Structure 1
Amino acid sequence: MARMRRPRPNWRELRRHLDVRRRFRRLYGESPGQLLILLASFALCGYAGIRLLAGDWPLILLWFVGAAVLHDLVLVPLYTLGDRAVGAALARRRRPVPRAGVNYVRVPAFLSSLLLLVYWPLVLRTPEPYEPATRLDIDVFLGRWLLITAALFALSACWLLVRSWPNLWSRRPRAPWRRLWPGRSSGRLSDP
C-alpha cells in the first residue's frame, strides 16, 4: 500500500494570516472575539434601554443620573477611604499582610453592601408594600442581614487563616516570588 504524502503547509498564507491577527491586536488591543462580545453586550444594553425608556422616561433618566452622581461623588470616596484604612491597618502589623490581603475585607464588604442595596427597604423596616408580598414579619430582615454579614466576614477570615497558615510560624518572611508562585522551590521562573 502506498503511503500518502501529507500536504505541505502553505507558510506564506499562514504568515499572512498571523500578520493580520497581530495587526488587529496591535490596533485594537484585544482579540476579535473580545470585540464581538463587547458589541453584543452593547446591543443587549441598548435593547434594554429602549424597553426601559418606553415607560416614564423622565423619572428613569433622573434616577439614573442621580445614581451616577451619588456613586461618583459620595460612594467612591467612601470606598477609597475604607480601602486605604484597611490597607494601613494591615501594613502596621509586625508581619505585614501583602496588598492582596485587603481583598479578604473587600469581598465580604462588597457582598454585604450589595445585599443591603437590594433589600434596603426590608432591612430598614419600611413595611408598606413589602410585608404582604413576603409574608414575613418585617423585624426579621435586619437580624438576618447582620447574620449574613457576620458569616461572610467570618468565612473570609477563616480563608485568610488557611491561606496564611504556613507563614504564621516561620521565622523568616517568604521571598516576594513565593507569594506569586507558592508551589515553586526556587526563585527562577523557568522551574517546572
Structure 2
Amino acid sequence: MARFVRWYGSGPLHLLALIASFALTGYAMVRLFAVRPLEVAIWFVGAAILHDLILLPLYSLADLTAHSVLRHRPARVPQVPWINYLRVPTFLSGVLLLVWFPLIFDLAIPYPGASRLPEGVYLGRWLAITGVLFAASAVAFALRLRRMRRAGRGDERRPARGHGATP
C-alpha cells in the first residue's frame, strides 16, 4: 500500500472516486453532445471565456484584498491559516449564485409544478444559505483557534529550529 501511495500520491479510494467521476462526466458529455452538440460546445467555450477573462481576475483581486486587509494582527494571537475559512463559503455561495441566478434575481419564470415555490423566495433563501455557510465557517475557525490555544501552540507557520528560526 505504501508503494502505491508513493507512486500515485493518494490512496486507492481516491483513485476509484476519480475514475468514477471521469466516467460519469464522460457519460454526461456523450449524452449532451448527442442531443445538442453546437449548444453544448458554445456553452463550454463561453464558460471558459467567462471564467478565465472575467471571474478569475475578480476572485483573485478579492483574495488579494482579503489578504492585505486582514494580514495585520498582533503577534501574540496564534496564526491559523484563516483564508480558507473565507474561501470555502464564498466559493460555495458563488456556485449557488452562478447556477441559480436567473431565479434568484427574478430573471426567469420558474416552473411552478417542479418546485411549488412562489417566485420571490429564491433571493432570501440564497442569502440564508450564504449566511449559514459563513456562520459554519466562523464556528469552525473559532474551534480551530481554540484548539490551538489549548495546545499552547503559537504560530503554525513558524519555521522549526535549524531552518532559519532563532533559538
| TM-score in terms of structure 2 length | 0.72
Q: Is 1:174 equivalent to 2:154 in the alignment?
A: yes
**Aligned equivalent of 1:113, options 79, 82, 94:** 94
Measured after TM superposition, the shift of residue 109 of structure 1 is 0.6
- Compute the displacement of 1:48 (Å): 2.5
How far apart in 1 are the matches of 2:97 and 2:51? Answer: 15
* Match 1:47 to one of 21, 27, 30: 27
1:103 to 68, 84, 87: 84
Asked whether the equivalents of residues 125 and 138 of structure 1 are also in contact (C-alpha less than 8 Å), the reply is: yes
Is the contact made by 2:78 and 2:154 (CA closer than 8 Å) also made in structure 1? no
Residue by residue over 1:40-87, the C-alpha shift from the partner in whole angstroms, topping out at 9 and shown as x without a partner, is 654443333222111121111011111011111111111211111122
Within a 5 Å distance, the mapping from 1:40-189 to structure 2 comes to: 41-95=21-75, 98=79, 100-165=81-146, 174-176=154-156
- d(CA) in 2 for partners of 1:37 and 1:154? 30
Query: Cα RMSD (Å) of the superposition?
Result: 3.6
Unaligned 5+ runs, structure 2: 162-167
Greater relative contact order (Cα < 8 A, sep 6+): 2
Residues 35 and 114 from structure 1, CA distance in 2 versus in 1: closer, same or farther, beyond 3 angstroms? closer
Give, in angstroms, the shift of residue 162 of structure 1. Answer: 2.1
% identical aligned pairs:
44
Instruction: Verify the 8 A CA contact 1:104 1:157 in the aligned structure 2.
Output: yes
Contact conserved, 1:90 with 1:97, CA < 8 A, in 2?
A: no
Partner Cα separation in structure 2 for residue 97 and residue 89 of structure 1: 18
Q: Deviations over 1:21-41 (max 9, x none)?
A: 69x93xxx6589577765665
| Amino acid aligned to 2:69 | A
Q: Mark the structure with the bigger radius of gyration.
A: 1
Q: CA deviation at 1:146?
A: 0.8
- Match of 1:174, SS? coil
Moved more, 34-43 or 75-84: 34-43
Q: Which runs of 5+ in 1 are unaligned?
A: 1-20, 180-186, 188-192
Q: Separation in 1 of the partners of 2:147 and 2:27?
A: 51
Paired residue total: 155
TM-score by length of 1: 0.64
SS of the equivalent of 1:82 reads helix
Query: How much does 1:111 deviate?
Result: 1.3
Partner of 2:82: helix, strand, or coil? Answer: helix
Shift in CA distance, 44/165, structure 1 to aligned 2, threshold 3 Å: closer
